[in-house]
Amino acid sequence: MKRVFKEVGSLDRKCYEEFDLTEDILMEHAAEALKREIERFEKGKNVLIVCGPGNNGADGITLSRMIKGDFNVEILLPYGAKSKMAKLQLQRARKLNVKEIEKIDKEYDIIVDAIFGSGMNRELDDEIVSLIDKLNSMKAYKIACDIPSGIDFKGNISKNAFIADITVTMGALKESLFTDLAKDFVGEIKVANLGVSSAFYEGESSTFLLEKEDLNLPVREKKNTHKGDFGHLAVICGKKHGASIIASKAAFSFGSGLVTLVCNEIFDIPYEIMSSSHLPSKCNAVCIGMGLGYQYDDELLHDFVLNHPHPVIIDADIFHNEFIKEILQKKRNLVLTPHPKEFASLLEITGIAKLSLKEIQENRFSLVREFCGKYQDVVLLLKGANTLIGQNEKIFINPYGSNALSKGGSGDVLSGLIGALLAQKREPLNAAINASLAHSLSSLKFNKNNYSLTPFDLIEGIKCL
């Protein structure tokens, strides 16, 4: 996994103060990283670099100097060059006769967006919105310098943003690149080395980007075993039977030795899944909430969740039940998996905030931190295009979310996967991280049309990771 930062200005300053590097040196390295992306194309291609007035624009101007002679490069400066470094880099570019244009009147093979960087805290004016719209409509390969222009320092988009094929971000990964709102704009993300390795450039961080290599599957190594060695998960079946059946099948396919559906009525269930009218005495993890409705009274809910020491994965309907507040106050080994609307209900019930869905999506990182600061022993998994998994002060980002998962039942699969790992005695944070990765990576391996993925396709994919 990689460290992620709220901002990197302080990391740049460390380079100046501790390593005697200069803005000029960092800028040369930034432009060199952009240059490598352009050099993937044949020489002679037409390149447009749109440069803002500050140091992000200066990176773009520096790039124009570096590729002049190998590519047909033009620069557009809608605000001119205003920062000290932008003026210096423009002076250098002009000595090489880099062509400056005032309007776009032809097509380009490559477009580089160097208008605004990740520190942007202003709303775009109409002129820049129109320019970005024009750039987005062109068929060129698109590169964003640091972050696509239009995405602010919190990762939000007020009007529009540059749609990049690749974002070359400077120095280190930033949280603003991993909001749900930014996902359709950033494309592939690469980090530019600015003159020292990440071991020296980066500092401490409590936010981490998960990688595929972080997945730790529940592969069985010991040979002399029996089903009881791999845990017993109880899945509480509510009004909508299908949700709990999906979760049960997912759990069974992810290594849980036994899975029992706790239900009030008899109905057809998969042969490998057991059923019971009460919580099995030997179960060691519970999965509750999926399709629950109001099937159980408070006494039974207390029995399922609070009257036993087992870890619990909670999803869906319970986030709208006042009982969740008592659970959070009394239970420690919990994993909560709300989607944004359920998270809004959870925040309101716990007295943290009453927010709209839009406000939730615009403040995902800060709200996860606030919730996890209040309930420090709980693991929170906030679903989304980029899933956030938080506990105490730490946040882990799963960037592998796929639009194929936007289907009923996908969340039930995730609940079952987490429950399976809890039953196999994984710690709640470990269970949430690995189940989330397995869930996402299974969807990415699906080789049919992305609109056709079903929960059972996901479960089959889990078996082949």
pLDDT of residue 56: 95
CATH topology of domain 213-462: UDP-N-acetylmuramoyl-L-alanine:D-glutamate ligase (3.40.1190)
Using CB atoms within 10 Å of the CB of residue 49, give its burial: 0 to 12 exposed, 13 to 18 middle, 19+ buried: buried
Helix residue ranges, H only, 124-181: 126-137
Q: Identify the three-state secondary structure at position 264.
A: coil
**Three-state SS for 238?**
coil
Write down the pLDDT at residue 295.
Answer: 64
Q: What tokens appear for 118 in the block? A: 């990740």
- Predicted pLDDT at 239: 79
Tens-digit pLDDT profile for residues 206-232: 999 999 999 999 999 989 999 998 999
pLDDT at 264: 80
* Whole-angstrom distance, CA of residue 377 vs CA of residue 407: 30
Tokens 């809890």 belong to 422
Indicate the pTM of the whole model: 0.94
Residue 29 and residue 25: Cα distance in Å, rounded? 6
Which residues of the chain register pLDDT less than 50?
A: none
SS (H, E, C) 264-319: CCCCCCCCCCEEECCCCCCCCEEEECCCCCCCCCHHHHHHHHCCCCCCEEECHHHH
The answer for residues whose C-beta is within 8 angstroms of residue 249's C-beta and 6 or more apart is: 270, 273, 416, 456, 459
Using one digit for the tens of pLDDT, what is the confidence trace for 166-192? Answer: 999 999 999 999 999 999 999 999 999
CA dist., res. 59 & res. 88, Å (int)? 11
**Which is it for strands 312-314 and 285-288: parallel, antiparallel or unpaired?**
parallel
> Among positive and negative, which fits the CA dihedral 153, 154, 157, 158?
negative
Name the token pair of 218: 């529940």
Can you give the pLDDT at residue 156?
93
Looking at residue 236, its amino acid is I
Domain boundaries, the chain: 2-203, 213-462
pLDDT score at 124: 87
**134 φ/ψ angles, rounded to the nearest 5 degrees:** -65, -45
Torsion angle in degrees (nearest 10) through CA of 153, 157, 161, 167: 40
Q: Which pLDDT does position 217 carry in this prediction?
A: 97
Query: Regarding the domain delimited by 2-203, which CATH topology (the fold level of the hierarchy) does it fall under?
Result: Rossmann fold (3.40.50)
Q: List C-alpha distances in Å: 91 to 217, 350, 361.
A: 55, 57, 42
